[in-house]
Amino acid sequence: MQIRFFHPLSIFLLMVFSHVTFAASGDDATPSHTYKLDGALKNKFEHATEIGSSRFSVRNSRVGITGDIDGVYGYRVQVELSDEGQFKPLDLSATIKPVKGLSFTLGQTSIPLFNTYIVSPSEMMFANRAFIGKYFLSTRDLGLNTRYDFSIGKVPTRLEFGVYNGHAINNPVWKKKKSYGGRLTVGSMKGVRVSAKAYNYLNDEQTHHLFYGADLRYEATNWKLETEVMKRESKTDFHTDLLAYYLQGAYVLPLNTKLFNSLIPALRWDGISDTQGDAGFDVKRLTAGLGFGSNRGRISSTLRVDYEWYFVTNSPSIFKSPEVGSDKITVELLLRF
């Protein structure tokens, strides 16, 4: 007898189609079950102007499904189809909502530290992430996250607290001490929103960091402005402290062409540095971008052209190649559904 092993992508697609079939074939006794499929495909070309080299890449190829059952249970499954050639599960979590506003999410899920518009490919304002979202910590872990949504007067407010393994995704290690952190968010994505957060990250005997920071954003009908600062304090002698920040904004101008219906100029100033004095590193970057947006029902796209100017003092080891710290032009096509 021959035993066949299925690729993880085949299993995921089978799950999605089985889910769709089940939802469509239910009767009046079937619990209320709503779901949403989503995805993002992010392809880009980069040219390092100071070095003269360039590359094409598929930066993200994500597919996910979010579901709700009777307003009491929920789930989130999201996978990266190719992360440098490797299939990688991202979100694998289930949620229970015992009372209005309160939820408990167990599984592989986001930690309460980063803004989605900084780390999520479908929401980012630029082709490349801000330093905070790229070099500080993995945005997900295995654990339990508690969230409580309420209002102070008419102002939406959210409290979050999570406990995690502290070894990032897809690594269910046994540990005596867990990583933990929380976040307070006041306001909504429209208008003014501010949040403060802290996260105690215990990875191993050599890696123990305390992260803390705050962010402020304002979004109007056709423009938005966002800023954030975050500090990483090392509790061991094996790592240095880090400080990172960004200030970014974008404006949406309507267009009436066959291909595009919006023009989006954007500007960002961000930086990252350590605290080793003259031996440490300090990197600042100015990014100017121009996006051409198209919204066609459930599918939207952005054709984006960015130019990055780097100002580097002592190139950091976190830059894995000379091209990373070089001035560069990036052309990106992002599709979302």
Residue 208 lies in a domain: yes
- pLDDT for 126-136, tens place per residue? 999 999 999 99
Specify if 298 maps to a domain: yes
CA distance 172 to 140: 13
Q: Is residue 16 part of a domain?
A: no
On whether residue 73 sits in a domain, the answer given is no
Residue 227 in any domain: the answer is yes
Q: Report, as ranges of residue numbers, the positions in the chain whose pLDDT lies below 70.
A: 1-29, 277-279
Q: CA-CA distance, 118 to 236, in Å (whole number)?
A: 28
Q: Is residue 281 part of a domain?
A: yes
pTM of the predicted protein model: 0.87
Per-residue DSSP letters for 28-71? TTSPPEEEEEEEEEEEEEEEETTT--EEEEEEEEEEEEEEEETT
Number of domains composing the chain: 1
**Is residue 75 in a domain?**
no
Instruction: Please report, for the domain that includes residue 227, its CATH number.
Output: 2.40.160.10
Q: Domain range spanning residue 301?
A: 41-51+86-336
Answer yes or no: is 331 within a domain. Answer: yes
- Distance between CA 92 and CA 111 in Å, rounded? 13
pLDDT at 180: 98
